[in-house]
Homo-oligomer: A and B are copies of this chain.
Amino acid sequence: GGRPTISSEDGMYAMSIGLAFHEDIGGFMGMSPRRGETRGDFSSLTENARRLRIPISFRYKDWIANITPDFGNGSADGSTTLYEANVNYAGFHNTILTAGYFQPRVTEEDSESSNEFEMMERPAITDIVRNIAAGDARMSIGGLHYDKRWWIAGYLTGQSYGARNGTGVTDSQTGATFRVAGRPYMSKDIDVHVGLSAISAFKVAEKSNGRSYAFAEGPEVNLTTTKFLNQTVGNVGSIWSAGPELGFRWKRLVLKGEYYHIGVTRGDNTGGNVGNQQSVNFSGYYGAANYTLFGKGRSYNIKEGAFAAPGVDHVFDPLHGYWGALELSARYSVADLNSGLNTAGAVRGGQQTVWSAGLNWYPNRHFRFMLDFNHIIVSRNSQLYDLVGRDGNSVAGRIQAAF
């Protein structure tokens, strides 16, 4: 796959070093605050090292240890973290058993490699769902199995890397993830993908003020630290989410859609105010279309149970008429963090809708340039920067290298 690797002559040992390099440049237009609102962090032109991961892998026979430092960041670069650090046993056929900090995959979007995304960012609902008990560098113990027609995985999960560091946590989270996906129909021109993902935090982390959970998500472009969706739910018993995945490929066209419901049961803090006693229900969905204009179209990756990026037949070489690969994407995405609005236990997290369109150019198999336009519509959510809702647009590009 082009990742630099050194091996021992007897094949017992292998070590590889890779790279996932995503740097974003762009800005926001028309994000003006309304009367009484705070401006928020919306540069007209700024930059972010979105992912700067150096995956390092050590193999001895069927045992593998992975560690991946990450010098990039979700919204404002400058800190160093870990993408993963885990130990794996790959001695069973098409099966990987894993223990350690890992990204256990839930939802179709989260199952794709970020190097192969259709748009620069996942739909908001996908990020909100996966962050409940999965996401990057989540302590996990479990396994996955794949075959030509189906894919299944389950993990028990704990804290995310760093969750106890300076946060005042006195009891850590425990949870689990589950995903099953299949291809009921496949042919040269057609792939039908169906799947089901589920996730739960049985017990969220406890701090001095009890067990609460913050749902928060940016506007599907990670050049701002302001999150329009930002809702802390107090007195949490457990959180769960589940929903279906659907995908369809016809030649160079890929259509995808997912829907997720999120439920929060309340804890036993019955002495609290009535607003903290009622179950909370959030939801979200997205639909996406992608078409490969030239190059080899998107294909189905059985190891991920998800669609993979276009291929480059001929490396960029304009003198000989080779232009690599180019694809076009469009997406409609909704995430709704309002619950029981007309009841005493109303949770007013707001609703965010994002229309997006994007263009991805692959000069060769290791480099990619992305350009995304987002139109962002947020309804009121009682945050200072969003008292009465906010509309606006973003244009952002990404420079990507992957080895």
Contact present for A41 and B80 (CB under 8 Å):
no
Contact present for A401 and B58 (CB under 8 Å):
yes
Complex: A56 Cα to B47 Cα, angstroms: 22
Contact present for A58 and B165 (CB under 8 Å):
no
Give chain B residues whose Cβ lies under 8 Å from the Cβ of A196: none
Say whether, besides A77-B161, A85-B21, A162-B77, A67 and B43 are in contact (CB < 8 Å): no
Contact present for A399 and B170 (CB under 8 Å):
no
Contact present for B366 and A45 (CB under 8 Å):
no
| One of B42, B48, B54, B82 near A170 (C-beta < 8 A) | B42
Complex: A368 Cα to B305 Cα, angstroms: 32
Contact present for A81 and B81 (CB under 8 Å):
no
Contact present for A100 and B2 (CB under 8 Å):
no
Contact present for B367 and A161 (CB under 8 Å):
no
Q: Which of A11-19, A228-236, A337-345 is the interface stretch?
A: A11-19
| One of B39, B46, B401 near A172 (C-beta < 8 A) | B46
Q: Give chain B nearest CB distance to A56 CB in angstroms.
A: 7
Closest to A79 in B: B165
User: Does A302 have its Cβ within 8 Å of any Cβ on chain B?
Assistant: no
| One of B13, B67, B85 near A4 (C-beta < 8 A) | B13
User: Does A123 have its Cβ within 8 Å of any Cβ on chain B?
Assistant: no
Interface size, A (range): 35 or more
Give chain B residues whose Cβ lies under 8 Å from the Cβ of A165: 73, 76-79
Say whether, besides A47-B159, A139-B25, A69 and B80 are in contact (CB < 8 Å): yes
| One of B63, B158, B162, B364 near A61 (C-beta < 8 A) | B364
Contact present for A164 and B45 (CB under 8 Å):
no
User: Does A309 have its Cβ within 8 Å of any Cβ on chain B?
Assistant: no
| One of B43, B44, B162, B225 near A79 (C-beta < 8 A) | B162
A:33-85 near B, CB below 8 Å? 39-49, 52, 54, 56, 58, 60-61, 63, 65, 67, 69, 71, 73, 76-82, 85
Complex: A166 Cα to B79 Cα, angstroms: 10
Say whether, besides A80-B80, A87-B399, A401-B65, A47 and B170 are in contact (CB < 8 Å): no
User: Does A90 have its Cβ within 8 Å of any Cβ on chain B?
Assistant: no
User: Does A363 have its Cβ within 8 Å of any Cβ on chain B?
Assistant: yes
Contact present for B21 and A15 (CB under 8 Å):
no
Complex: A169 Cα to B78 Cα, angstroms: 13
Say whether, besides A52-B82, A85-B21, A71 and B76 are in contact (CB < 8 Å): no
User: Does A315 have its Cβ within 8 Å of any Cβ on chain B?
Assistant: yes
Encode contact with B along A85-120: 1 for CB under 8 Å, 0 otherwise: 101000000000001110000000000000000000
**Cβ contacts A to B, 16 pairs, < 8 Å:** A2-B60, A21-B100, A23-B139, A43-B171, A46-B172, A49-B82, A52-B85, A54-B67, A58-B366, A60-B364, A61-B315, A65-B367, A69-B71, A78-B161, A80-B80, A87-B399
Closest 10 A-B residue pairs measured CB to CB? A78-B162, A78-B165, A65-B401, A46-B172, A4-B15, A76-B164, A76-B165, A47-B139, A80-B80, A43-B172
